[in-house]
Structures are given as structure tokens and as C-alpha cells.
Structure 1
Amino acid sequence: MSTTVESADAAAEERVTDIIRSAIVRGEYAPNQRLIEADLSDTFAASRATVRTALLELANEGLVERLPNKGSRVRAISVEEAIEILEVRIGVEGLCAAKTAASVSDDEIEQFRRLRHDMVDAVAEGDLVEYSRLHQRLDQRVRVLSHHATASAVLGRLHAQSVRHQFKLSSRPQRAKVSVLEHAAIIDAIVARDPDAAREAVRVHLLSVIGALREVA
């Protein structure tokens, strides 16, 4: 019985954490906005304890700040900090892409090809919300299939902190048209089982993102 309750609690905590994380990334919660446990508890039909645990997890990810005696708020991440994070991601994300390219299976190659097709279609149809979702799916698949636990864990934290700025960029039609070609190049290198090309494609893409963020700034 206790195991069942614990499993239900863990599932609730994961659900609330995912919802708040996604809302922060999409900009539904503004930088420095207070996150009041009672309000979030009502909004998500979750206990205060569940919400508190979710906020602690997001604080560990660098998305939320815990303020002494004041609760929590969305952590403001400047463009310059986001650029520094992207610079670090070049090395770690390139490593994951290279590892994935070196070990990708035939079935996984077909999955990447379908993902590439769907991403190109989403941009062509102007469905930038779907493109953003597929972009995140690609990032996740590359991390998982790299089978590099340390790099994947580091990327999970870094990606969460910088993705809010990338989400804003990907919602711009002209930027999405550039970005989708860069993602296609990453997929093509992985499908070709070329680790060096995969690493380079990641580097080119993230340097492009850095350049776009500097233009916005």
C-alpha cells in the first residue's frame, strides 16, 4: 500500500514539475515572477507538498530561485548568461551527437529520418509550436541515445536554463527556417553514422543560435 502511495506521489510531483517547467520555458511565467505555492496548488489540483517539491527540483535545474522567507520566483537568465550556457553546450552536446552517430541502430536511423521530415514539414506549414516540440524531442533523443549519463545530465540542466531564449527565437518564422536546416544537418550526420560531422553540425547550429541571440540583444 505504501509503495502505491509513494508511486502516486512521485507521479504527481513529476507532472507538476513538467507543467511548471514548460510554462517557464514558453514564457507564461515571466522572469522574477513570484511562484506562490497556494496558487499553484489550486491551479494544478496538487498538494502544497507536491508543489514545493516541484519548485525545489526546478531550483536545482536553475529555473527557479528560492528566496529566504519569501518563497520562490522565476529566475531571470540574461542573454549574456544564456550565451555562456550555449558556449558550454557546444562541447557537451557535440559529444552526445558524436556518441549517438557512432552507435545509432537501423531502427533509430528510421526514427531520426521521420523526425527530420516532420520538422521540415512543421516549418513549411508555419506550425512553429509543433516545430519547437519536435526540436525538443530531437535534443532529448540525442542525449538518450548517446548513452553518456554524465553528459546527458549536464545537458539537461544547461538546456533547461537556455531553452527559454531559444524558444523565443524559434517562434520567429525567419529564424525557424534557418534553424530547421541546421537541425536537419545534425540528423543527416547521425544517420550517416559520422561522429565528426555530427559534432561539427552541433557546433555550427549553436554558434548560429549565439549569433541570433546577440542580434536580439
Structure 2
Amino acid sequence: MAARNHSTASATSRTLDGPGVAAALEDEIITGGRFPGERLVEDQLIEKFGAKRYAVRQALTLLEKQGLVDRRPNAGAFVRSYTEKEVRDLYDLRILLEGECAQSIELPVSTSALAQLRSVQQNHDDAVAAMDLPQVLAANTAFHRTLFDLCPNRVLVEAVNRYAGMSHAMRSIAFTSPESLERSRREHHQMIESLESGNTYALTSLCRDHLLPSRDTYLRSAARRA
């Protein structure tokens, strides 16, 4: 996916507050519009978004807490980049958490829960068909949140969502090819089928294996940039 144009010509016509700037920057980061290690210059962000300096600084603080921005003393703010070990450690943890979360879902699930998940997945299907990458990412997140919300362990669900959010920028790189999008879409439907058939083993395996392509794609991309 081509990088977005960060020129002042794209500045918004209204003043954004801190959360608004954070949401706009998050969208750019997770859709590949800004690259790992890219410096985020306050003056440029102020002009681009028509925001006050305090709003930009608040946005950077919010994104730092989400793990998307790295703020360095006397250097500024940068789009977070990860070492190979950090990527592997994060995904190892996600595999454990999401596998446990899937295994904890009590099967069979209700017909209403299946209907809701199918409805959410339809949005993902439509976004993939249109190659609308921001909507693909949003629908993908909605699908997994809806799926894991079936787990009765709320602490585990919160942990799954937290660490999934930390890997948003990594996952976006895997969403740049039609083949990757189709694989993800197909696996979502297989997860729904596993829920419907009451196959905990298949669901757990799918949820774990589903994470590997985005991890490996990010590592290959990072190696090429090195």
C-alpha cells in the first residue's frame, strides 16, 4: 500500500482535540501511511490537523500508551518500531492468550451469537471485496473482539484486546496484498464454522495459526528495511 501524503494540503478544515488527532494518526499508522521509525514532528502535525500544540502532545501521549508511538528525550516522537525479539515475544504472548481465550469459549454458542458474528464478518467480507484497507482493519478488529467476547473470562478478554492493539501497526503490513486479505477472510469463516459445529480444538488451532502470517510478514518487511 502506498504511503499517504503528509503534506499540509491534507490538513483538516476543523480543529481537532487530542483524541481526534490521536485517532487520525492511529489510522495513518495502522494503514501503513506512516512507517516504523518515522519521526512525528509537532509543528507539522499542528499544521496538518489544524490542532493546538497541547492537543498534538496529548495525542502523542495517548498513542504512546497504546504502543504505537515512541517518545524519546531530546529527540521527539517516532512511530514505534520493534526489534525482532519484541515482535516474537509479543506474538508468542498473543498466541498463548488468544488460544486460551478460544479454548475457554463454552460451546455450543447460541444462534444469536452466531448470527451476530456472521453479521460482523459480512462487513469484513465487503471491505475485502472493495479492497478498502481502513475498513478491512476496522472490520477485522470488530470480528475478533466479537469472537473473543464469547469467552466468560473478562480479564483474559481484556488482555487479548490490549495486546492485539499493540500489534495493529504490525498487522497492517500483512493487509496489503489480496492474497493475505483473502486468507484472513477465509479463516474467519472457518472459525465461525468451528463455533457452529462445537469443535473447540479446531477453533483454538485456527486462532493461534491465524496470528502467524502477520508476524512473519512484519519480520520480513523489517529485514528488508534494515
TM-score for the superposition, normalised by structure 1: 0.76
Q: Give the partner amino acid of 2:73.
A: P
Contact 1:82 1:161 in 2 (8 A): no
**Corresponding position of 2:51:** 46
**Corresponding position of 1:172:** 177
Matches within 5 A, 1:169-208: 169-208=174-213
**Corresponding position of 1:138:** 143
1:159-204 superposed Cα distances (whole Å, 9 cap, x missing partner): 2332323222222112222222222222222344554432222012
**Corresponding position of 1:114:** 119
What's the offset of the Cα at 1:144? 4.0
Question: Cα RMSD (Å) of the superposition?
Answer: 3.0
Identity of aligned residues (%): 26
Per mean C-alpha deviation after superposition, the further-off stretch among 165-174 and 45-54 is 45-54
Q: Give the partner amino acid of 2:131.
A: D
Three-state SS of the structure 1 residue aligned to 2:210 is: helix
1:15-42 superposed Cα distances (whole Å, 9 cap, x missing partner): 3222212211112122222212333233
Contact 2:174 2:213 in 1 (8 A): no
1:53-78 superposed Cα distances (whole Å, 9 cap, x missing partner): 22112212221111112321111124
Query: Structure 2 stretches of 5 or more lacking a match?
Result: 1-15
1:87 equivalent to 2:92? Answer: yes
1:20 equivalent to 2:25? Answer: yes
**Corresponding position of 1:127:** 131
Contact 1:41 1:47 in 2 (8 A): yes
1:87-136 superposed Cα distances (whole Å, 9 cap, x missing partner): 2111112233344555854333211112334434544x352524333212
1:71 equivalent to 2:76? Answer: yes
C-alpha distance in 1 between matches for 2:88 and 2:132: 23
TM-score for the superposition, normalised by structure 2: 0.74
Contact 2:70 2:80 in 1 (8 A): yes
Q: Give the partner amino acid of 2:124.
A: M
Aligned length: 206
- Which has more helix, going by share of residues? 1
Per mean C-alpha deviation after superposition, the further-off stretch among 196-205 and 67-76 is 196-205
Q: Give the partner amino acid of 1:59.
A: E
Change (3 A) 1:134 1:86: same
What's the offset of the Cα at 1:13? 3.3
Change (3 A) 1:188 1:72: same
Change (3 A) 1:193 1:45: farther
Per mean C-alpha deviation after superposition, the further-off stretch among 99-108 and 85-94 is 99-108
